[in-house]
Amino acid sequence: NQGALWVSAADGRIKGWDWQAHDDARFAELMTRNGWVDIDVDVDGQGSKTKVKIVTASEEKNEFFFPGFIDTHIHAPQYPNAGLFGSSTLLGWLETYTFPVESGFGNQPDPKTGYQQQTKAGETPLAAQTIYDQVISRTLSHGTTCASYFATIHIPATNALATLCKKHGQRAFIGRVCMDNPDFCPKYYRDFSAEDSLTATKATIAHIQSIDPTGSLINPILTPRFAPSCTRPALESLGALAASYSPPLHIQTHIAENTNEVTLVNDLFPEAGSYAAVYDRYNLLTPRTILAHAVHLSKDEKALIAKRDAKISHCPASNSALGSGIAPVRSFLDVGITVGLGTDVSGGYSPSILEAARQTCLASRLLGHTAAFEMEFECGHSHVKGEDEKQKQKEREDEAARVKLSVPESLYLATRGGAAVVDMADEIGGFDLGMLWDVQLVQLGAVKGLPESPLDDGEGDRVDLVRPGPVGNVDLFGTETWEEKVEKWLWNGDDRNVKAVWVAGRLVHSRV
């Protein structure tokens, strides 16, 4: 495959390309739309050239460009807890692990009131700066070119996250979490009132818009943490604030992650009728809304979400880690809901969207073995008792196979899907002409390049049990088709395979 590709250093967009499209039918959908090509890149990362020519690479290098990953749901301040969750489930986990770590991003609580003085500008604990710096570097190193971040309730730290994303060059949506419900949020970590919550949110929006007035890289996103953490007035004011902008502001929250949480929401908002309906009442279900998890939605809720064109962030690593359940992604796609992937650090243990894509495949393969699947199948099944059991079993198996997500589908959700979730489907997630060069260069191992065994005594009679390839964990044997290389990457790849990362044509990470 020969090819060349031009990215304008002026605006970081793809200006022209000329390559032989990969023509394998199975990958046609992913590749012709996602357009990955095996060509090398010669971008200097300095933006000094007006036009950068990207020259052909050899297939032997086992390198290919892939659209940068889009993490549609990640909690930046929870990064210190990545991998720490014990056997907890959502509500206990929030209390034990999450609120304590997030509260550390503000100042000490006022001894008199017990509330954090979080509305003062200019005070960010050093640890918060360091952690935010780390999480941005780490996600970039995994190929995440765009992330939708939940921050904390604190204005200075949230502003610092936005400023750091800009400095690193990572495309980002930054949300100050709103949590003003005294019946749910701990006193040491909550907004003083709905009014305070709105004022603080506006302050972070003002900062973000001051550092990136055109929103070319960093954008605000309204972030009612989830229904239980917010009072009605807070939800109402956020819905109104979103709608007051043109185009409306982005919104992100959680929905139906855990069965106890769903029960809690039904108790707290009995008038709404469902979890999704709570958000809808306050105009928070919009085409620019990202709903994380969506493990336990009813059929009606899915229909409502589809009708409003709200988006879903699928977070399978988190859903398994916290024992939340398996989100029925195929059923979202069936009704036309747009889906992207999220790491949900630190409900999710890994900052890698490749891991999220892998877990997407795995979780979908387990779905057919769940009670929820069985119920759904029985509901939609026309057969009556006594009818051909064999036929019914066959249909059950077919349905279990149908809900599985393939490698190309998972990678699609990680790129094109995520792009649509953040309402940037025309800008990022693929290699269409005019799209932004938000790209990772992936390099896989090659058997030819295996290093000499350090234990080799020169006589050839010492053999290591494991001789790692030169690049990461993906060993190739020279027999793989490109499709198989990508499959191996999905199942065994990690950040060692991410050789370089660009956002809008700017080099933002490179492996040394």
> Which residues in this chain contact ligand GUN in the complex, by CB under 6 A?
75, 90, 94, 98, 225-226, 254, 257, 318, 344, 347
Regarding 280 and contact with Fe ion (CB under 5 A), the answer is no
Phi, psi of 71 (to 5 degrees): -95, 105
Of 92-100, 338-346, 351-359, 446-454, which part binds Fe ion (CB under 5 A)?
A: 338-346
Nearest distance, CB of residue 93 and ligand GUN, angstroms: 8
Closer of 132 and 226 to ligand GUN (Cβ): 226
Closer of 88 and 497 to ligand GUN (Cβ): 88
Nearest distance, CB of residue 139 and ligand GUN, angstroms: 17
| Tokens, residue 484 | 């198989």
HEC string of 72-91 equals EEEEHHHHHHCCCCCCCCHH
Q: For the chain, how many residues are written?
A: 512
Nearest distance, CB of residue 296 and ligand GUN, angstroms: 13
Q: State which residue has the least CB distance to ligand GUN.
A: 347
Decide: 305 and 312 in contact? Cβ < 8 Å: yes
Closer of 144 and 443 to Fe ion (Cβ): 144
Nearest distance, CB of residue 90 and ligand GUN, angstroms: 6
Q: What does 257 bind: ligand GUN, Fe ion, none (CB cut-off 5 to 8 Å by kind)?
A: ligand GUN
Closer of 322 and 486 to ligand GUN (Cβ): 322
Q: How far apart are CA 271 and CA 269, in angstroms?
A: 5
Closer of 75 and 506 to Fe ion (Cβ): 75
Q: How far apart are CA 7 and CA 431, in angstroms?
A: 11
Q: Name the residue among 139, 72, 67 with its Cα closest to residue 486.
A: 67
Nearest distance, CB of residue 91 and ligand GUN, angstroms: 9
In a 10 Å sphere around its CB, with 0-12 CB exposed, 13-18 middle and 19+ buried, how is residue 267 labelled? Answer: exposed
Nearest distance, CB of residue 75 and Fe ion, angstroms: 6
Q: How far apart are CA 294 and CA 298, in angstroms?
A: 10
In a 10 Å sphere around its CB, with 0-12 CB exposed, 13-18 middle and 19+ buried, how is residue 445 labelled? Answer: buried
Residue type, 136: I
Residue 344, CA distances (Å) to 97, 349, 367 in order: 14, 8, 20
| Tokens, residue 233 | 């007035």
Q: What does 226 bind: ligand GUN, Fe ion, none (CB cut-off 5 to 8 Å by kind)?
A: ligand GUN
Closer of 4 and 91 to ligand GUN (Cβ): 91
Regarding 344 and contact with Fe ion (CB under 5 A), the answer is yes
Closer of 147 and 476 to Fe ion (Cβ): 147
| Tokens, residue 473 | 């964990």
Closer of 97 and 502 to Fe ion (Cβ): 97
Q: How far apart are CA 175 and CA 152, in angstroms?
A: 8
Strand runs (DSSP E) across 161-294, as ranges?
Answer: 171-175, 177-178, 218-224, 250-255, 289-293
Regarding 71 and contact with Fe ion (CB under 5 A), the answer is no
Q: What does 140 bind: ligand GUN, Fe ion, none (CB cut-off 5 to 8 Å by kind)?
A: none
Of 130-138, 178-186, 320-328, 341-349, which part binds Fe ion (CB under 5 A)?
A: 341-349
- Would the CA dihedral through 229, 281, 294, 224 be positive or negative? negative
Nearest distance, CB of residue 257 and Fe ion, angstroms: 8
Of 9-17, 81-89, 339-347, 415-423, which part binds Fe ion (CB under 5 A)?
A: 339-347
Please tell me the count of residues contacting Fe ion according to CB under 5 A: 1
Of 52-60, 342-350, 480-488, 502-510, which part binds Fe ion (CB under 5 A)?
A: 342-350
Nearest distance, CB of residue 344 and ligand GUN, angstroms: 5
Q: How far apart are CA 234 and CA 364, in angstroms?
A: 36
Closer of 80 and 449 to ligand GUN (Cβ): 80
Q: Which residues bind Fe ion (CB under 5 A)?
A: 344
